[in-house]
Chain A
């Protein structure tokens, strides 16, 4: 590493870290919205109600069947074209919304699979002691599902962080975009700057991934459902 590389490092790093903070913000907001929406839909889907479950299944398949880039373009280009004022999103809102919806499809699948993994007898026993459906969910089923959901949720979060890099194409100044801007300043160091960006992503994602792997090894069932969903088995929950 030469003096030149060290100079570039110090002049570029503040901007990259600023971009990293933006990436972190995007991913946290995305995982928050995605989890809330996904948990809600997943719990409904886990009940296997006649009309709603297939509807939510279609929602999952539509989101799984299209690339995130296309979903982002639809949120950013198509929705404002409807002419409705409340859908005229700026790039920030479009990014938040599409990241949240993208995440929700994974969370829905994980939550509903975890609910269905709880043995039938647990439902029957809680009905037998006079719990309503809501009470059984809250006191008996969900507490047992959490252990199955948590490891997979970590994997979803890493997926989401990696997806935030795509948001750079609508002009959000997150880590990848800051890298591109820095390259405009130091065009000769293109590979070096991209490697710095990669290192920042790695430094954040790798510990999360290791924790996920560790959690999955600890709960064998979690491994069975979680990795099945993430590694892309098309019908993990069937």
Chain B
């Protein structure tokens, strides 16, 4: 039965060719996921800093932060990647020796940081005022307030949009194929250019991206289920 189905599908989608390229595809998936993971960690760290800057209310800090945020939001990611890839080695010659993946991760981090900052900022703002006042009343330092009172509560409101942004980040890594990073799209491109089989090349890539997306969707459902009831916002939204 399965054999028969295999015979039928071969003219449209010859899975045997895809299997021959299994190594390339797994290398591509590895690069895609590791680039996404690296920029995820970095952009959460920098996004947290940026969120604190925006909440600080000091104009000599918030104005540059706003300028950065707006210029990232109003220009295409592809252009930002090109500017980092071609421009950074001109400004700092030492970066010319860095691999494309590193430059790509820098560009993706630059791009994702403002979005992460906005998610983290609205998570922090969602914690009721009284919580911070209570923390001040019992004599906590600002760092203690964040660590013990604000961040644990902000986390529940932050996790669902954070997962959504991570899904976008995984998709955004596809543009790294245009600066010669060997990611998932490049693997499909390689198959297509060596065998001239676009179906096998690009449909496989699309299906693999969809599979990654489905995993993240399931994670987000689990997270929402797990967090339901612990967060005031989750109940009203």
Partner-B contacts on A (CB < 8 A): 61-62, 64-71, 73-74, 77-78, 81, 158, 161-166, 168-169, 176, 179, 190-191, 194-195, 197-198, 201-202, 205-206, 209, 224, 228, 231-235
Contact = CB atoms under 8 A, between A and B. Distances in A.
A22 to B, nearest CB: 14
Contact of A201 (B79, B198, B224): B79
B203 interface: yes
A66 B209 contact: yes
Contacts of B165: 231-232
Contacts of A163: 76
A68 B167 CA distance: 13
Interface of B is mostly: helix
A163 B172 CA distance: 11
A182 B119 CA distance: 38
B206 A66 contact: yes
Contacts of A194: 79, 82-83, 86-87
Nearest to A238: B224
B140 interface: no
Interface residues of B, number: 53
Contacts, number: 140
Contacts of B79: 165, 176, 179, 194, 197-198, 201
Contact of B76 (A64, A70, A176, A228): A176
Contacts of B71: 198, 202
A183 to B, nearest CB: 8
A231 B74 contact: no
A190 B74 contact: no
Interface of B: 70-71, 73-80, 82-83, 86-87, 90-91, 115, 118-119, 160-161, 163-165, 167-168, 171-172, 174-175, 177-178, 185, 188, 192, 198-199, 201-203, 205-206, 209-210, 212-214, 216-217, 220-221, 224, 237
A62 to B, nearest CB: 7
Given A77-B192, A202-B74, A233 B160 contact: yes
Contact of A233 (B161, B178, B216): B161
B76 to A, nearest CB: 4
B41 to A, nearest CB: 18
Contacts of B174: 67-70
Contact of A231 (B115, B198, B203, B213): B115
Contacts of B217: 61, 65, 234-235
B205 A162 contact: no
Give me the 8 closest cross-chain CB pairs, A-B, nearest first.
Answer: A65-B213, A232-B164, A67-B174, A165-B76, A205-B74, A77-B198, A162-B76, A67-B171
